[in-house]
Amino acid sequence: MSIEQTLTARSNGCCELCGASNDLAIYAVPPQELASSDNHVLLCGTCKPQVEGADLDANHWRCLNDSMWSQVPVVQVMAYRMLKRLGAETWAQDALEMLYLDDDTRKWADSGLVSDDSEPVLDSNGARLAAGDNVTLIKDLDVKGANFTAKRGTVVRGISLSDNPKHIEGKINGQRIVIVAAYVKKA
């Protein structure tokens, strides 16, 4: 049985990320050593160009809320990578926080992410911050639009980095907010 036939049977003739059934094509998920159905997915004409680097339509990718729960590791890898690319979207960050990948699948998913050699994100003491770090606020912050003040000393767990190296994102009082990195110290 060919890879295409195997993928079509596995996906019931639908895109493995969004479920569309039109304009389907095989996509090889890098890095790969040998071509097999274990490292290929079947994608529709909307998903494939965006996976390959075209501008993202964030609303289209809300389908990842369903496909990220697939039992097929290669589909999990693709969902993880696309959610990472959509990191600025609050719903994508929430989905990433819920997504569980076993260690091997997580390594595979991370190995295909584009490395970012941009300016590092630094806290108030000059310590480099990374996604997942815990930080402590060093001053009271008025949270615009949320009608509360984040108090000095509040610990923000599992931060995310944003496109701007001067900002981080984290949850305070159950709300995801953007915080100026200079107003926190690494916990």
Name the domain boundary from 111, 143, 159: 111
User: pLDDT class for 47, splitting at 50, 70, 90?
Assistant: very high
Q: What is the pLDDT of residues 129-187, one digit of tens each?
A: 988 889 999 999 998 877 899 999 999 998 888 878 899 989 998 888 889 999 999 98
Q: What is the pLDDT of residues 97-134, one digit of tens each?
A: 999 999 999 999 888 775 555 678 899 999 989 888 89
Q: Please check whether residues 31 and 86 belong to one and the same domain.
A: yes
Q: What is the pTM of this model?
A: 0.61
Q: How many C-beta atoms surround the C-beta of residue 52 within 10 A?
A: 9
User: Which pLDDT score, from 0 to 100, does residue 74 have?
Assistant: 94
Tell me whether residue 18 is in a domain.
yes
User: Which pLDDT score, from 0 to 100, does residue 13 have?
Assistant: 94
Tell me whether residue 39 is in a domain.
yes
Q: Please check whether residues 40 and 125 belong to one and the same domain.
A: no
Domain that holds residue 106: 3-111
Tell me whether residue 179 is in a domain.
yes
Q: Please check whether residues 27 and 88 belong to one and the same domain.
A: yes
Task: Say if residues 41 and 29 touch (Cβ distance below 8 Å).
Answer: yes
User: Which pLDDT score, from 0 to 100, does residue 174 have?
Assistant: 86
Q: What is the pLDDT of residues 140-156, one digit of tens each?
A: 999 887 789 999 999 99
Name the domain boundary from 57, 84, 111: 111
Q: Please check whether residues 131 and 172 belong to one and the same domain.
A: yes
On the question of pLDDT at 46 being above 90, the answer is yes
Name the domain boundary from 56, 89, 111: 111
Tell me whether residue 166 is in a domain.
yes
Tell me whether residue 116 is in a domain.
no
Q: How many C-beta atoms surround the C-beta of residue 162 within 10 A?
A: 16
Q: Please check whether residues 102 and 23 belong to one and the same domain.
A: yes
Q: Please check whether residues 140 and 167 belong to one and the same domain.
A: yes
